[in-house]
Structure 1
Amino acid sequence: MNWIPKYKFILASKSPRRQELLKSLGIDFEVQTKDVDESYPNHLPPDKIPVYLAEKKAKAFTNGLNNNDLLITADTIVVLNDHVLEKPVDYDHAFQMLSALSGRIHEVITGVCLSSTKKSVVFSSLTNVQFKKLTNAEIDYYINTFKPYDKAGAYGIQEWIGSIGISHIEGSFYNVMGLPLQKLYEEFQKF
């Protein structure tokens, strides 16, 4: 079955996880990146932030697309009690984040923007994730071994901490990794 639309796919992401996930759909694509300011208005509710940032990233490419290009941009955030947990700046910040997530449920929201020269479509996906109560030793081991400084919320679900610490998820596992594949597949077909 050839479900893949006849586009030249461009993934605008430095994330090795997003690149790996898109490959798993059997799509040939190239990676193009631009540095984009990832700030957002303070008044935005958390569930609107990832879509806002995905669109902002897409706008950086607006004038560079050809007729057959389909650009994919995305942004993922972690939200605990309506507070956005960004990427940690150092060990202490990562430890603080993981301690806050320990024993609690949080949301992971990914916003995706698909853009061509003719149209743009945005969507988001939300997954609820529950951590068991983590020990200080487990948090320390994870941070020192995996150095999760490039990950929102200071963790990767596909890494050791996900294997030993996540007791329940409701929603897309791949969304937590950074790209909601099933929803993306459906949006490709509609596009």
Structure 2
Amino acid sequence: MLSEKFKNNQIILASGSPRRQELFKELGIDFSINVKEIDEIYPSTLVEEEITNYLAKLKAKAFENELQEKDIVITSDTIVWHDNRPLEKPKNKGQAIEMLQELSGTSHKVITSVCIKTTKSQNVFFDVTTVFFKKLTFDEILFYVENYRPFDKAGGYGIQEWIGFIGVTRLEGSYFNVMGLPVHKLYEELMKL
């Protein structure tokens, strides 16, 4: 459906995330990948989806002067929101362990924003999923961090990996949103273009 709708467009996914690329492929659209290096810095007054909306727009802005008429660029940003603060990507093993200890036995929100930008328009939307973790043992956390090295993942974990299989007890919202792309909403928004 989408492949027919966009057969004359150039869809650009501006994400280096293998999970987002994989999910995007499943939509059945031809696309290219073009990632611009930007400083992911946002005003400290922002909270929850304000952060991800801001960063998704910032990533799209990097394409501003080079978009052609038929181009559609799609950017995205994901954070874990826990205890009224964002948990971003851990910088090292110690940080990843700390984050998982913090998430253990509690629930948190995963917020993903997506920006769809063309030469004529820009649309930003977001999705929120609440994830519930069982109480994780230190050995489980250590095993996961040492074997899966989740340093490119917000909150220090990937739900589609071992820790998700053994640790996540319940979800409220989209599973794919936790992986980094609310595919159902992206589909709806693309169909509106």
TM range, smaller chain:
over 0.9
SS at match of 1:64: coil
Task: State TM-score, norm by structure 1.
Answer: 0.98
Shift of 1:45: 1.6
Structure 1: give runs of 5+ residues left out of the alignment. Answer: none
The code of the aligned residue for 2:53 comes to V
Alignment partner of 1:178 out of 177, 180, 191: 180
Which residue of 2 is the match for residue 129 of structure 1?
131
1:35 partnered with 2:37: yes
Q: 1:85-123: per-residue Cα shift (whole Å, max 9, x none)? A: 011111111100000000000000001000001101000
**Aligned residue runs from structure 1 range 34-183, under 5 A:** 34-183=36-185
Distance 2:69 2:91 in 1: 40
Distance 1:127 1:103 in 2: 17
Task: State TM-score, norm by structure 2.
Answer: 0.97
Structure 2: give runs of 5+ residues left out of the alignment. Answer: none
The code of the aligned residue for 2:50 comes to K
SS at match of 2:65: helix
Asked if 1 retains the 8 angstrom alpha-carbon contact of 2:13 and 2:31, the reply is: yes
- Count of aligned pairs between the two proteins: 190
**Aligned residue runs from structure 1 range 13-32, under 5 A:** 13-32=15-34
Distance 1:80 1:100 in 2: 9
Shift of 1:68: 0.6
Which residue of 2 is the match for residue 187 of structure 1?
189
Q: Once the two structures are aligned, what percentage of the paired residues are identical?
A: 53
Distance 2:141 2:94 in 1: 11
The code of the aligned residue for 1:186 comes to E
The code of the aligned residue for 1:8 comes to Q
Distance 2:172 2:69 in 1: 38
Shift of 1:148: 0.3
**Once superposed, what is the RMSD of the aligned Cα atoms?**
0.8
